[in-house]
Amino acid sequence: MVVAKSEASRDPTAYFRPARLLPALITVLGLGYFTWVVFWPQSVPYRSLGPLGSFTQYLVGHHHILLRYGYWLAWLIHLGESLFAMVLCKYKGITNPRTRLLWFLQTFLFGVASLSILIAYRPKRQKCT
């Protein structure tokens, strides 16, 4: 990740960057589709979705319990990523409460699309004099 010059003058305790659009969109659409399939499988237009629809219809018909467990597991993983983001914020010196909340919420909603930005962030270390 390339850091702009203007970023160097910003407060490192309040570092926040929004998730990139494409990975965030893929995550939201995937979780949205997953939600639709798990909770309202009768309303999914399987035939209109081509191979994805056929595969989804098979999963709904033969493995609906696994889909339901997988759905909750996906959200549990997102929660774990969000908690890890809080640990990273502390480690990287991001102490602003509002900024930490933004990282938590963004990582909960977008997962790795957000967490990867925080992982890539390298704060400048203060020189001891």
Asked if residue 129 is part of any domain, the answer here is: no
> How many domains is the chain built from?
1
- pTM for the full predicted model: 0.84
Asked if residue 127 is part of any domain, the answer here is: no
Please provide the average confidence, as pLDDT, over all residues in the chain: 92
Q: Model confidence over 63-81: pLDDT tens digits?
A: 999 999 999 999 999 999 9
| Domain, as residue range, for 71 | 19-120
Asked if residue 12 is part of any domain, the answer here is: no
Please determine, for residue 37, whether its predicted confidence score (pLDDT) is greater than 60: yes
Over the range 82-120, which residues count as b (16 or more CB within 10 Å of their CB) and which as e? Answer: beebbebbeebebebeebbebbbebbbbbbebbbbbbee
Asked if residue 5 is part of any domain, the answer here is: no
Of how many residues is the chain composed?
A: 129
Asked if residue 2 is part of any domain, the answer here is: no
